[in-house]
Amino acid sequence: MNQDLWTAVDAFVGDALIPEDDALTAAVRSSDAAGLPSIQVSPAQGKFLHLLAKIRGAKTILEIGTLGGYSTIWLARALPAGGRLVTLEADPKHAEIARANIARAGLAGVVDVRLGKGLDLLPAIEAEGVGPFDLVFIDADKPSTPAYFQWALKLSRPGTLIIADNVVRKGALADPASTDPNVVAMRRLHAMVSSEPRVSATTIQTVGSKGYDGFTLAVVNG
């Protein structure tokens, strides 16, 4: 483990490939100032999500877990004109800060921030017919990740990309004896995905300024 080195490389990548951006910088600053936890994706990860949405040609995106809207802004910026992003956040203060950050980024007309627990809000999203979504980013309460994955499938169509964050958990994912509910959930997610014929998936380990973790990426088969 070499956190200093990972952070230095992320800084190098940021300087080289991710130009300073007023709206994203302001989003992080205002989230920090409001006392939100600094658990948003890193700039390199945010841009990676943005590129995935672009590669997918996503016109509709669902995000579960908004925080201050940092990943939301990255994802929403990948949408074409007329695109739409719905993001779900359980904490009223987080949702309020996110709405302000998203408006400052000029994305208020594109992003719908919904306040409530993801599992409470998702049935209404299905009933309203807001989906299907081309990309779903799961990044909320980690024990619910398997349930969110089931919802993502329900709200998908062939080609939908489903991304679940923080699945590797410093390597604890590989520990069958772990009783940590976050780890147990991510192991369950893998069991679920492996027996799900509708998707093709992998998990990628990541290191960087946010430590050692990883994400699962699943594509809904055509």
Ligand X SMILES: C[S@@+](CC[C@H](N)C(=O)[O-])C[C@H]1O[C@@H](n2cnc3c(N)ncnc32)[C@H](O)[C@@H]1O
Which is nearest to 60 in space by CA: 42, 26, 86?
Answer: 86
CB nearer ligand X, residue 194 or residue 214: 214
40 binds ligand X (CB under 6 A): yes
Subset of 127-166 contacting ligand X (CB under 6 A): 139-141, 144
Q: How far apart are CA 62 and CA 207, in angstroms?
A: 25
59 binds ligand X (CB under 6 A): no
CB nearer ligand X, residue 185 or residue 198: 185
CB nearer ligand X, residue 88 or residue 185: 88
Which is nearest to 61 in space by CA: 122, 114, 111, 126?
Answer: 111
User: Residue 101: beta bridge partners?
Assistant: none
117 binds ligand X (CB under 6 A): yes
CB nearer ligand X, residue 7 or residue 144: 144
Q: Which span sits near ligand X by CB under 6 A: 58-66, 123-131, 179-187, 199-207?
A: 58-66
Q: How far apart are CA 173 and CA 185, in angstroms?
A: 9
Query: Is the distance from CB of 132 to CB of 104 less than 8 angstroms?
Result: no
DSSP letter assigned to residue 79: S
At 159, list the tokens.
Answer: 């080609």
Among 86, 88, 110, 201, interactor with ligand X by CB under 6 A: 88
CB nearer ligand X, residue 118 or residue 208: 118
83 binds ligand X (CB under 6 A): no
The helix (run of H) or strand (run of E) holding residue 87 is: strand 84-89
Which residue, chain included where needed, has tokens 């952070």?
Answer: 7
Among 9, 23, 48, 91, interactor with ligand X by CB under 6 A: 91
CB nearer ligand X, residue 24 or residue 153: 24
42 binds ligand X (CB under 6 A): no
Q: Closest approach of Cβ 177 to ligand X, in Å?
A: 26
φ, ψ of residue 60 in degrees (nearest 5): -135, 130
At 40, list the tokens.
Answer: 């948003």
How many other C-beta atoms are found inside a 10 Å radius of the C-beta of residue 59? 17
Which is nearest to 70 in space by CA: 90, 91, 41?
Answer: 41
Q: Which span sits near ligand X by CB under 6 A: 8-16, 33-41, 171-179, 188-196?
A: 33-41
65 binds ligand X (CB under 6 A): yes
CB nearer ligand X, residue 67 or residue 161: 67
Residues engaged in binding ligand X (CB under 6 A): 39-41, 64-67, 70-71, 88-91, 94, 117-118, 139-141, 144
